[in-house]
Amino acid sequence: MNPIHAPFPLSRSRRLRRTPWMRSLVQETQLSVSDLIWPIFVRDGEGVREPVASLPGVDRLSIDLAVQAAEEAATLGIPVIALFPYTDASNKTPDASEAWNPDNLVNRATRAIKAAVPDIGVMLDVALDPYNSDGHDGLVRDGIILNDETLAALVQQTLAQADAGADILGPSDMMDGRIGIMRQALEANDFPDVAIMSYSAKYASAFYGPFRDAVGAQGALKGDKKTYQMDFANTDEALREVAKDLSEGADMVMVKPGMPYLDICQRVKSEFGVPTYAYQVSGEYAMICAAGQNGWIDQDKAMIESLGAFKRAGCDGVLTYFANRVARMLLDEEY
């Protein structure tokens, strides 16, 4: 595209920035409530609201309070909530079998939420790390994260979550071949309408720390995840991963983390034109909150600006811990 402009003063760019209504009129991308997915942490108990120290403003919620959060999301117009479990250490084992327990925490929470708020979308994570005593997304033997053996476990987890009523499954494990076996299992077991939002380009990142605190995986993790999550130096690899997942039956794809990887978001959307999402991960959220709390930045303005960056990069939506807060701002037109 080669835009043609008259020379100054016939052309004055500031004419289109002069008033709020003019800026709104010519705005190229817009952030709306329907772009938001709200991650919520659930834990056992009743009436429990437990703050996550490294995620200011984020709590672990017992199922009854998670239902209330889902009701809040529906009222605000947030289309989807994503549930993540805080798993008790007694339920973490080397085989991660709690992941496919029909009555595990997220499955019970899903049933309760779908019963109370049937029109809210529920997304569940497909990975073993909340249930694995080694803290890894896959099964571990002699320090090696096993790919093919993990796939069998992921199939069981997939079917348990679909049976609980999940609308979207988010495989975040980065095992090779997992989208294909998940899609085949869903089709073979009469769950053809369950969507898969694949964490296709998930990087081995330093920005996940507060999330691991929130799900209780931080202390359990042995080693790192670099043998299955992507190298932050790579971009073409991300396109190969996305292409592979789409060919295996993914409906939507995700880039994780978000802001440090806006170039990946843009390349994925431009190359494939499929529904593309980013996860504004816990470290990104925590940095904005910490800087805001210290008075170094305007937290609300930084929040809106950061989410707008995802839209500008081509994302169709964003998983963000700011979701309920930014939804209220958007609805009240406070930004």
User: Based on the number of CB atoms within 10 Å of its own CB, is 297 exposed (0-12), middle (13-18) or buried (19 or more)?
Assistant: middle
What is d(CA 130, CA 135) in angstroms, rounded to the nearest whole number? 7
Quick check: is 135 in a domain?
yes
* 25 within a domain of the structure (yes/no): no
26 found inside a domain: no
According to the model, what pLDDT value does residue 219 have?
Answer: 67
Considering the domain boundaries, does residue 15 fall inside one? no
Whether 254 is covered by a domain: the verdict is yes
- Domain containing 39 — which CATH number? 3.20.20.70
Active site residues: 202, 256
Domain limits at 195?
31-332
In a domain, 82, yes or no: yes
**Contact (CB, 8 A) for 130 and 60:** no
Per-residue pLDDT tens, the chain, 335 aa: give them: 677 778 888 888 999 999 998 998 999 999 999 999 999 999 999 999 999 999 999 999 999 999 999 999 999 999 999 999 999 889 999 999 999 999 999 999 999 999 999 999 999 999 999 999 988 999 999 999 999 999 999 999 999 999 999 999 999 999 999 999 999 999 999 999 999 999 999 999 999 988 888 887 666 777 889 999 999 999 999 999 999 999 999 999 999 999 999 999 999 999 999 999 999 999 999 999 999 999 999 999 999 999 999 999 999 999 999 999 999 999 886 54
Tell me how many domains the chain contains. Answer: 1
Do 229 and 202 contact (CB within 8 A), yes or no?
yes
Residue that the structure tokens 């964490």 belong to: 199
b/e per residue 95-122 (b: at least 16 CB within 10 A) = ebbbbbbeebbbbbbbbbbbeebeebbb
Strands, E assignment, the chain: 36-43, 49-51, 59-62, 80-85, 121-126, 140-141, 144-145, 168-171, 195-202, 252-256, 276-280, 317-320
pTM over 0.75: yes
In a domain, 173, yes or no: yes
